[in-house]
């Protein structure tokens, strides 16, 4: 027994075209999510560098002032040098602000991170800047 034929255009291949389109869109979405994750990981790395540099800076306490007055202050020159050395060892640049009165170091680190997925789209690297502060921890004797 023969099936009656419908009049109008054939739907043959419509599912294949729809599947191809959806697979392409799903792949593009997945690649975009991977690129976003890579940028977020680069931001976390840059923030870690800034935090480490700030902690390196606050290790340089103005010891004579601390011994004489008991007041905790940072030695600005050595604290800045320590933070800058840490930034350089991590391949970063940045601004360092030392507040000797409050014993706080603030570091703004800038790195250029290569994002492999974005490199295929012509974006060679991304510049990321993150800021972190640190103060020395003191406990009662």
- pLDDT per residue, tens digit, the chain (141 aa), is 666 655 555 667 778 888 999 999 999 898 888 888 888 998 999 999 999 999 999 999 888 988 898 888 899 999 999 999 999 999 999 999 998 778 899 999 999 988 777 777 777 788 999 999 999 887 766
How far, in Å, CA of 28 to CA of 22, rounded?
A: 10
Whether the Cβ atoms of residue 105 and residue 74 lie closer than 8 Å to each other: yes
- pLDDT at position 135 is 92
Quickly list H helices, the chain.
14-57, 63-69, 76-89, 116-119
How far, in Å, CA of 48 to CA of 90, rounded?
A: 10
List Cα–Cα distances, 117 to 12, 30, 112, in angstroms. 37, 11, 15
How far, in Å, CA of 104 to CA of 137, rounded?
A: 11
pTM for the full predicted model: 0.77
- pLDDT at position 11 is 65
* Residue 109: other Cβ atoms inside 10 A: 28
- pLDDT at position 3 is 65
- pLDDT at position 97 is 95
């Amino acid at each position: 027994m023969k099936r009656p034929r419908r009049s109008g255009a054939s739907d043959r291949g419509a599912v294949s075209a729809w599947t191809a389109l959806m697979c392409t869109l799903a792949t593009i979405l997945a690649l975009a999510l991977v690129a976003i994750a890579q940028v977020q990981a680069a931001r976390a790395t840059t923030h870690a560098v800034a935090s480490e540099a700030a902690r390196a800076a606050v290790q340089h306490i103005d010891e004579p002032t601390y011994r004489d007055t008991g007041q905790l202050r940072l030695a600005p020159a050595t604290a800045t040098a320590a933070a800058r050395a840490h930034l350089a060892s991590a391949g970063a640049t940045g601004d360092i602000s030392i507040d000797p009165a409050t014993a706080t170091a603030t570091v703004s680190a800038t790195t250029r991170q290569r994002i492999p997925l974005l490199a295929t789209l012509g974006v060679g690297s991304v510049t990321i800047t993150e800021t972190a502060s640190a103060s020395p921890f003191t406990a009662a004797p």
